[in-house]
Amino acid sequence: MTQLEDPVVAASSKRMLRGSLGVTAIVFMVVAAAAPLTVVGGAAPLGILLGNGVGFPALYAVSAVILLLFAVGLAAMTRHVPKPGAFFTYVGYGLGRSSGLAAAWIAMLAYTTIQIAVYGYIGYILGYTADTYLHVNVPWWLYSLVVIGLVGVLGYRHIDLSSKVLAVVLVAEVGIVLVLVAAVVVQGGAQGLSLAPFQPANVVSGSPGVGLMMAIAAFIGFEATAIFRDEARQPHKTIPRATYTAVIGIGVFYTLAAWGLVMAWGPDHVVAEAAKDPGSLILRTMAAYLGTAGEVITNVLLITSMFACVLSFHNVITRYQHSMSNAGVLPERVGSVHHRHLSPHVSSLVQTVTAVLLTIVFAVLQLDPVLAVFTWFSGVATVAIALLMAATSVAVIIYFRRTEKDARLWNTVIAPALGFVGLILSTVLIVANFPVMVGDTDAKGDPAFGPLSWFLLLLVVVFPVIGYVQAWWIRTRRPAAYAKLIDTIAA
């Protein structure tokens, strides 16, 4: 029997994703997950108000440097580990199979929570817009369910369709912000143009820990480039280039956009303007510099930005589940690939059902879509992803020290070590300020750890424990299967 006739080989090939995505398509996919306009319109005003005020734009640059150091090690691994599982694969190769499974589950927590958080926010925005302009009053969760359905349809089909949708949306939302910055520069801002946001005194003013937390959260999604390895053209070149392009592009864009916001109102007035209503600061800025048309266009693009975000994360999660299935840690059926669309269609359906069920639960519990669903689960995702990247940095160092496959000291030791230090310090700051993010307070109304904070942070502990327990169970009950995992997530 030839290899082509071998049923095992044939079955395996049917579970492999295929595609020809280039650098640009993958960058669109992961940058869309970062939702640039949503970050500029929502996170940046909050960073200015609750963080370090005028100096907040500089923290985007700081975050970009930390994550670029992390990306150096990530890119090195993509050249030597030809697997699409990204974090859990790399942690498995560096720290062992059990840690790899733990990383897989914490990654699932991070991406699922950030996706459901945005589903809540987009449901609220759609409800608010319909009520304001059309006088149609429908519960937020119904809008969220409609969006989940649309995302599910696109996620079920070939990824090229998703990448084209994301490309159009991303170009539009980035374009409107760049037009705003250009208008601010041409008109000279409210108090002239300056580098006040980058002056050391302003960078460390206020609460820089809160600001850094919001800045790093804005980058979530860029690291998913390796997930698309099997669907990339020349992945050993495409994935590293896409990773660097995404980090640098996001960092420059956020820094420039936040600087434009500060200049638009002036260093002496921007905090006060954000305090009036941080959620509408971007719309008021657009109205002031681009007129009513700019304000209306931005309102529409905020909705499409969030749609692009959830579509991108849907694609990331489905491919994580696909990789986990092929590793034998999720049901085999989840790893199936559609015969025509060449997509992980079963995994896509699983993720769609998961989002629907969670949304229904939140609706039954009558949780606020912004103050609860969006804020709480964004906080969980931020802590989880920071810890996951820190663990990956350690795994990179150990893997290359053990295998000696790459002798480049900067790429395999120095940069990952610096990235690890930056990520750990950032994680400490994020956890210390976690009550601020989720709105947990003491009897006096001051931010303090309470039952809500501890419960949400406990999720970040429970999910990796699930991975370790699952690894123990497989090793104990299915030793042969555990041994075969070496071909998938550990070497």
Q: Is residue 427 a contact partner of residue 383, using CB atoms and an 8 Å limit?
A: yes
**What is the model's pLDDT at position 455?**
93
**How many whole angstroms separate alpha carbon 334 and alpha carbon 322?**
6
Q: Is the pLDDT of residue 355 over 90?
A: yes
**How many whole angstroms separate alpha carbon 488 and alpha carbon 471?**
14
Indicate the length of the chain as a whole number.
491
**What is the model's pLDDT at position 23?**
65
Residue 5 lies in a domain: no
62-76, 123-137, 213-227: which range is least confident on average?
A: 213-227
**How many whole angstroms separate alpha carbon 469 and alpha carbon 484?**
18
**How many whole angstroms separate alpha carbon 86 and alpha carbon 323?**
9
**How many whole angstroms separate alpha carbon 178 and alpha carbon 183?**
9
3-class DSSP state of 303: helix
**How many whole angstroms separate alpha carbon 490 and alpha carbon 106?**
17
Take residue 2 and report the two structure tokens written for it.
Answer: 């030839």
427 or 488, greater pLDDT: 427
175-179, 211-215, 319-323: which range is least confident on average?
A: 319-323
Residue 7 lies in a domain: no
Q: Is residue 345 a contact partner of residue 338, using CB atoms and an 8 Å limit?
A: yes
145 or 404, greater pLDDT: 145
| 22 — pLDDT class (breaks 50, 70, 90) | low
Residue 17 lies in a domain: no
113-122: average pLDDT: 89
| 235 — pLDDT class (breaks 50, 70, 90) | low
CA distances from 268 to 52, 180, 189, 192, 281 (A): 13, 20, 12, 11, 15
Q: Is the pLDDT of residue 96 over 70?
A: yes
7-11: average pLDDT: 36
86-90, 303-307, 347-351, 448-452: which range is least confident on average?
A: 86-90
Burial 311-340 (b: 16+ CB within 10 A, else e): bbbbbbbbbbbbbbbbbbbbeeebbbbbee
**What is the model's pLDDT at position 7?**
35
**What is the model's pLDDT at position 289?**
95
Q: Is the pLDDT of residue 487 over 80?
A: no
**What is the model's pLDDT at position 272?**
93
- Total structural domains in the chain? 1
129-133, 389-393, 470-474: which range is least confident on average?
A: 129-133
Take residue 39 and report the two structure tokens written for it.
Answer: 């970050």
Q: Is residue 387 a contact partner of residue 353, using CB atoms and an 8 Å limit?
A: no
Percent of the chain topping pLDDT 90: 34
Domain that holds residue 387: 22-487
CATH number of the structural domain spanning residue 409: 1.20.1740.10
Q: Is the pLDDT of residue 376 over 50?
A: yes
Q: Comparing C-alpha atoms, which of 210, 203, 174, 175 is closest to residue 262?
A: 203
Residue 11 lies in a domain: no
Q: Comparing C-alpha atoms, which of 341, 389, 490, 408 is closest to residue 74?
A: 389
**How many whole angstroms separate alpha carbon 292 and alpha carbon 298?**
10
Q: Is the pLDDT of residue 204 over 50?
A: yes
First to last CA, the chain: 30
Q: Comparing C-alpha atoms, which of 108, 18, 74 is closest to residue 314?
A: 108
Backbone angles phi, psi at 253, to 5 degrees: -60, -50
Q: Is residue 347 a contact partner of residue 410, using CB atoms and an 8 Å limit?
A: no
Helices (H) and strands (E) in the chain, counts: 21, 0
298-307: average pLDDT: 84
Q: Comparing C-alpha atoms, which of 313, 408, 451 is closest to residue 33?
A: 313
**What is the model's pLDDT at position 225?**
67
Q: Is the pLDDT of residue 2 over 70?
A: no
Q: Is the pLDDT of residue 314 over 90?
A: no
53-57, 111-115, 143-147, 170-174: which range is least confident on average?
A: 170-174
Q: Is the pLDDT of residue 489 over 50?
A: no
Q: Is the pLDDT of residue 442 over 50?
A: yes
Place of tokens 């002056």: 199
Q: Comparing C-alpha atoms, which of 176, 107, 173, 198 is closest to residue 391?
A: 107
185-193: average pLDDT: 94
489 or 301, greater pLDDT: 301
Q: Is residue 84 a contact partner of residue 228, using CB atoms and an 8 Å limit?
A: yes
Cβ neighbours of residue 11 closer than 8 Å, sequence gap 6 or more: none
**What is the model's pLDDT at position 188?**
94
**How many whole angstroms separate alpha carbon 157 and alpha carbon 344?**
9
DSSP-H helix ranges across 96-234: 97-129, 140-156, 159-187, 200-203, 208-217
CA-based angle 142:147:150, to the nearest 5?
A: 130
467-473: average pLDDT: 91
**What is the model's pLDDT at position 234?**
65
Residue 8 lies in a domain: no
DSSP structure string for 366-388: T--IIIIIIHHHHHHHHHHHHHH
**What is the model's pLDDT at position 158?**
56
90-103: average pLDDT: 88
3-class DSSP state of 86: coil
- CA dihedral sign of residues 248, 253, 256, 262: negative
The CB density around residue 130, as the number of other CB atoms within 10 Å, is 14
Q: Which amino acid is at 171?
A: V
Residue 210 lies in a domain: yes
State the DSSP code for 83. -
Q: Is the pLDDT of residue 85 over 70?
A: no
Residue 16 lies in a domain: no
Cβ neighbours of residue 282 closer than 8 Å, sequence gap 6 or more: 37, 40, 41, 42, 44, 45, 261, 298, 302
Identity of the highest mean pLDDT range in 258-272, 339-353, 377-391: 258-272
Residue 10 lies in a domain: no
| 35 — pLDDT class (breaks 50, 70, 90) | confident
Q: Is residue 489 a contact partner of residue 93, using CB atoms and an 8 Å limit?
A: yes
For 55-96, where are the E strands, in sequence order? none
10 or 414, greater pLDDT: 414
Mean model confidence pLDDT for the chain: 82
Is this structure's pTM higher than 0.85? no
